[in-house]
Amino acid sequence: MTMTATTVQEIQLEQVSMRYRTDASEVLALQQVSLNIGRGEFVSLLGPSGCGKTTLLRIMADLLQPSEGSVTVAGKSAREARLAQKYGIVFQSPVLYDWRKVKTNITLPLELMGVKKADRERKAAELLELVGLEKFRDKYPWQLSGGMQQRVAIARALAMEPEILLMDEPFSALDEFSRERLNEELLSIWSKVGSTVVFVTHSIPEAVFLSDRVFVLSPHPGRLSAVVEIPLPRPRTQEMRNGPEFFGLIAKIRDSFEGV
């Protein structure tokens, strides 16, 4: 699903800059970032720690107002998109509610949208199976490992089948096996739901495996340094990870870092 002339734009950033002001100093976290993400596209934000990935994601989600520049989501403002409940977000930390068990943490967004209990139950069962936590449905978050907590957060973000899925290093707390399995699962969900996905990661192979395009960010100040198309066919399979094309793309992205 690479960009074509007919693609509808979902998220457009125009010259977005972000300055964090503290009492003593000022950090330029993002400098004039412009990018377009098409509807239904899967893109990754890739870059070293501190280059502004989370900041960029939060600006897209209307959780943070940029110092300069504009954000357009489906032709409207990010705020309108948020109020229309278009976003599902996986934060960098799980952000689970201590007083809710796994199942009701997952169905929280459905509750907020007024989905009926029977439907919530059905959806919860489906999602628990997807993230492999059926046995833990009645546990409290603190009874889970960090990786399991993160899987709960992923299930919660998927619960309402959001139009836009923003994921901030969702799999970084997971082991390599779960990670690869969930990569595949994520792609299969995405192909069914058709969400637009913005996926933050540190891992070049992960970005290549998942994405239509990879936005490479560089730090100090954070800016967009390269956009790499991933022309691998879909559906993506595990075998592709061993192909020369895959390694070529990894090398290409790595080069774009070294050019910084």
Ligand X SMILES: Nc1ncnc2c1ncn2[C@@H]1O[C@H](COP(=O)(O)OP(=O)(O)OP(=O)(O)O)[C@@H](O)[C@H]1O
- Residue from 30, 37, 73, 89 binding other proteins (CB under 8 A): 89
Strands (DSSP E) contained in the chain are: 9-21, 26-38, 42-46, 68-73, 76-77, 87-90, 164-168, 196-201, 213-218, 223-229
Stretch 89-108 residues interacting with ligand X (CB under 6 A): 92
- Supply the DSSP string of 193-243, one letter for each residue: H--EEEEEES-HHHHHHH-SEEEEEETTTTEEEEEEE----SS--GGGGGS
Q: Confirm or reject binding of residue 50 to ligand X (CB under 6 A).
A: yes
d(CA 63, CA 51): 18
**Does 70 engage in binding with other proteins (CB under 8 A)?**
no
Among 15, 34, 65, 85, binds other proteins (CB under 8 A): 85
Using CB under 6 A as the binding rule, whether residue 29 contacts ligand X is answered as yes
Cβ neighbors of 98 (< 8 A, separation 6 or more) are 140, 141, 142
Question: Applying CB under 8 A, does 251 fall inside the site for other proteins?
Answer: no
Which part of the chain contacts other proteins (CB under 8 A), choosing from 69-77, 103-111, 172-180, 215-223?
A: 103-111
**Residue 149 binds which of other proteins, ligand X, Mg ion, none (CB < 5-8 A, kind-dependent):** none
Nearest by Cα to 58 from 80, 15, 101, 87: 87
**Residue 52 binding: pick among Mg ion, other proteins, ligand X, none (C-beta 5-8 Å cut-off by kind):** ligand X
- Contacts to Mg ion by CB under 5 A: 54
Residue 148, SS3 per DSSP:
helix
Give whichever of 20 and 140 is closer to ligand X, judged by the CB atom.
20
Tell me the C-alpha distance between 89 and 218, whole Å. Answer: 23
- 223 contributes a contact to ligand X by CB under 6 A: no
111 binds other proteins (CB under 8 A): yes
Binding residues for ligand X, rule: CB under 6 A, are: 20, 22, 27, 29, 47, 49-55, 92, 222
Binding residues for other proteins, rule: CB under 8 A, are: 61, 63, 82-85, 87, 89, 91, 93, 95, 97-99, 108-109, 111-113, 140, 142-143
